[in-house]
Amino acid sequence: MKRFPFPPPSLSPFLVILLLAACQPAETPSSEAATAAASFPNGEIIDLSYAFDAETIYWPTAAGFVLNEDAKGIQPGGYYYEANSFSSAEHGGTHLDAPIHFFENRWTADAIPLDRLMGPAIVVDVAEQAAGNPDYQVSVADFERWESAHGTMPDGVIVLVRTGYGQFWPDRERYMGTAERGPDAVAKLHFPGLHPDAARWLVENRSIHALGLDTPSIDYGQSTLFETHQILFEANIPAFENVAHLDRLPPQGFTVIALPMKIKDGSGGPLRIVAIIPATADGRG
């Protein structure tokens, strides 16, 4: 049997306690498990995902989310039963971009190691710079500015970038720059993204596990080559797009868990991402 190191180095002590607690037999809980269960409510859990519904924003060339009601109501046996089916593109709403999405022979959605999708995280806030500039590209200077205030970002961190565009969800016109659909609408997209130079700086100078933005793409709307995708994905750094509620997070001191639908050989998929803020993080609690 292949053995893996435990705990993964990127997991916070908070998550390690929870995982250890989960491994304890239910009939004989340890004091450590009891402590974890007791301390869990003291942290604040922030849902960073948008719900999937008819308003969910997808790329102009993709079909949206469709929920079909297959059964609903009292059944002949006298019991209530409800079941639905749905259809969706991999890339839309709050979702994961697997590295295979823009680079051959890189991780697919189901192959990304879980320790790359959970662990300590930071928020780099560029909402002021992006205000009034829908074509803003997050720069190396933005990351250096964050580090001047908070210290060098640690190895294995998940980097979340807040552009402020989450305030426009689900208004397609304001969030994407156009509400039009189809191939011709792609040229009319306007929203902030990560500059390729900044992506290259992260790959060459830092050791991050994932990167997420509160926009439809990690490349800005007017990109035609998607260079930021190519640079990060060549380095097997997955991305999260359309991340919600980044305004509710502190700059650092919290943990992210980002678990996508496990699609075999998928290039991405719907993502449920949450942040856990300890009671002591930046005075919160």
Q: Say whether pLDDT at 16 is over 60.
A: no
DSSP-derived secondary structure letter, 23:
T
Residue-wise pLDDT tens digits, 130-177:
999 999 999 999 999 999 999 999 999 999 999 999 999 999 999 999
How far is it between the farthest Cα atoms of the chain? 66
Superfamily designation of domain 45-52+90-283: Putative cyclase (3.50.30.50)
Over residues 231-251, the pLDDT tens digits come to 999 999 999 999 999 999 999
What is the chain's Cα-based Rg?
20
Residues forming a β-bridge with 86: 67
Tokens of 47: 């849902």
The ranges assigned to domains in the chain are 10-42, 45-52+90-283
pTM of the predicted model, to two decimals?
A: 0.84
Whether the bond into 7 is cis, omega within 30 of 0: yes
Using CA atoms, how far apart are residues 131 and 198, in angstroms rounded to an integer? 19
Q: Are 64 and 270 in contact (CB under 8 A)?
A: no
